[in-house]
Amino acid sequence: MAEDYPVVDLDSDALAAAKLLAERRLPGIVVTDASGCPCSILPASQVVQFLVPRYVQDDPSLAGVLDESMADRVADKLGGKTVRSLLPEKPSELPRVQGDDTIVEVAAIMARLRCPLVAVMEDKRLLGVISASRLLELALTR
């Protein structure tokens, strides 16, 4: 089930990571620590949330008053930032499974953690990633 998948490390450039998510239309990306061990998943939705000002998140009706030039500048918020700055301050549990886990076990982890990706691990080594769309593809063809 696992597929090769791009990864970034905690100190990678946030704008480059966002461009990777956008260009490849990824639902998220695996984030590794300095040793190369996966430590988090950065969902694309988390990057989008980072771009939207807090006052607009609190009151979405204010989004209509922002002009397009403001929308064009949202990517500037990522300039000079690292992937680490996009992650929640309190780290969440890494969505991870073993290589021999079943579709149901993978789905249960995705559902419980509300994450579009799970890291397929063997000890601390990343074997690949299973995305929600890949999981659905496999489940629907059985």
Q: What is the pLDDT of residues 66-124, one digit of tens each?
A: 666 655 566 788 888 999 999 988 878 889 999 899 999 999 999 999 999 999 999 88
pLDDT for 73:
67
Question: Given pLDDT bands bounded at 50, 70 and 90, which one contains residue 52?
Answer: confident
Phi and psi at residue 11, to the nearest 5°: -100, 10
Band (pLDDT 50/70/90 cuts) for residue 60 is confident
Which CATH number among 3.40.1010.10, 3.40.50.300, 3.10.580.10, 2.70.70.10 corresponds to the domain 7-141? 3.10.580.10
pLDDT of residue 93: 85
What secondary structure letter does DSSP report for 95?
-
Output the pTM of the full model: 0.81
Domain range list for the chain = 7-141
